[in-house]
Amino acid sequence: MILYMKKFTVEDLKTRLDKYLAAKLPEFSRGKIQKDIEAGHVKVNGEVITSPHFAVRKDNEISYSPTEVVDDSLEPKNIPLKTLYNNHGLLIIDKPAGLVVHPGAGFKGDSLAQALLFHFKDIRLVGEEGRSGIVHRLDKDTSGVMMVALTPEIYEHLKDAFAERKVKKEYIALVCGKIPQSHGFFDQPLGKSKKDFRKYTTKESQMVTSKPSLTEYRVLEYLSSPPLEEGAGGGDGVDPVKQSAEGGFNRVDFYTLVVVKLHTGRTHQIRVHFSSQGFPLVGDELYGGKPAMKLNLNRQFLHAKKIEVQLPDESWIEAVSELPKELKELLKRLNSQKANLL
């Protein structure tokens, strides 16, 4: 998660990039800065630099977008948690949209990490410093199932399970447009965009580094927008959209409801893969184009429906989250036959 951008003009004649930023930003460790540089979060004179040893010179312009900072001094906060499973040191919760997992530098809102610290007093000691048992995350505006380790043993087990791809995740998404194939895969590497630190891309010429990424989808239902009332500018927000020549969206005639399985777990993977094929998620302004697509939804239509993981005793646990009310209501407005089944 990218939080903000810092800009500097180098005054020294010559110094290493990581040393310069560490001196300018004492609130960040040099190790964190080095990782951010290697991940492509720093530009010098507009060019992405991925070597911490890069020599910056006087009058160089540096822009740095720090990733979120894990704060081990977080104060607990009484934020309600909806628990789906709590046993064997494993907690599975139903995260609402609008709640960030970890607050970053400068973030003032509520976070899941603060809620966990309030409800589970010893969780601060689980996992790497500041992780509070969190082994994976959902975007702020994605809802649904999320696992948290309550013991160090389960934390290490879950880390290994994710690394070995022994965690099964299933999402529900509503995308703009009519996907022609009822079942398919997006097998496209993802990488951080050189142009916009907030975004990821499938275009290799525009990415810093790439990682293999595989998304599987199956169509649940095709939906069409209700006709606009005469003289209305979209009625109650359902505004049929067509793709513009610039690649954005002005009006949409059809939507596709899909169930999605992740075979890899990259940041923004579902959002980028569908958008890259011309089917951005409803409500996803970062990857989807114009606000007309939002259908009066104050979030993206992406819900983590189900998660399955193998426990240390080799048994499997499954947790399922019901589609949130606001997503069901939107589907009903589009005359979905699946709204009450998800």
Active site residues per annotation: 139
Q: What tokens were used for 183? A: 């079942």
Count the Cβ atoms, other than its own, within 10 Å of residue 122: 11
Dihedral-angle region of residue 59 (phi above 0 means left; psi in -120 to 50 means alpha; beta otherwise): left
The helix (run of H) or strand (run of E) holding residue 152 is helix 152-163
Could you tell me where the beta strands, DSSP code E, fall in 65-119?
A: 83-87, 90-95
Q: What is the spatial distance between Cα 277 and Cα 274, in angstroms, rounded to a whole number? A: 5
Residues 284, 285, 291, 293: what is their CA dihedral angle, to the nearest 10 degrees?
A: -30
Neighbour count for residue 269 (Cβ, 10 Å): 22
Q: Are 16 and 60 in contact (CB under 8 A)?
A: no
Radius of gyration from C-alpha coordinates of the chain: 22
DSSP secondary structure string, 175-201?
A: EES--SSSEEEEE--EEEESS-TT-EE
DSSP H or E segment with residue 160? helix 152-163
